Amino acid sequence: MDVPSKIDAVGIDDDKSKIKWEGKEGTIEFKDVWFRYPTRKEDFIFRGMTLKIEPGISCALTGESGSGKSTFINLMMRFYDPDFGEILLDGKNIKEYNLHYLRQRISLVM
């Protein structure tokens, strides 16, 4: 809680330059993503993660506790941004999308 977020979730509708993703295609791509939580700077969760999920494909993230399943979703929803690499949605970096629209169109089934 002491570390301020770099992602402005309060002013999400203020930036009119951001793309409003309508969720038409849905290709998700992680390109050489490196990520570590701000409170644990010494431990990378992802080290060069590359993954592409095509539209219409069902994908399950499985693994042991601490293997990065929740981190994947946290990055997709832009609760965090990667340290290196990029996350693409329909070929565009998710940072280009309006955060409100992006989060409205992603769901998670536990």
Residue range 77-100, pLDDT digits in tens: 999 999 999 999 999 999 998 888
In a domain, 2, yes or no: no
When divided into structural domains, the chain yields a total of 1
In a domain, residue 1? The reply is: no
| CB of 76 closer than 8 Å to CB of 94 | yes
The residues with which 92 forms a beta bridge, in sequence order, are: 89
- Tens digits of per-residue pLDDT, 16-26? 556 665 656 78
In a domain, 73, yes or no: yes
Question: How far from chain centre, in Å, is Cα 72?
Answer: 7
Query: What's the predicted TM-score (pTM) here?
Result: 0.79
Cα distance between the two ends of the chain: 25
Whether the pLDDT of residue 69 is over 60: the answer is: yes
Q: Is residue 83 part of a domain?
A: yes
| Residue 71 structural domain | 32-104
Residue 98 resides in a domain: yes
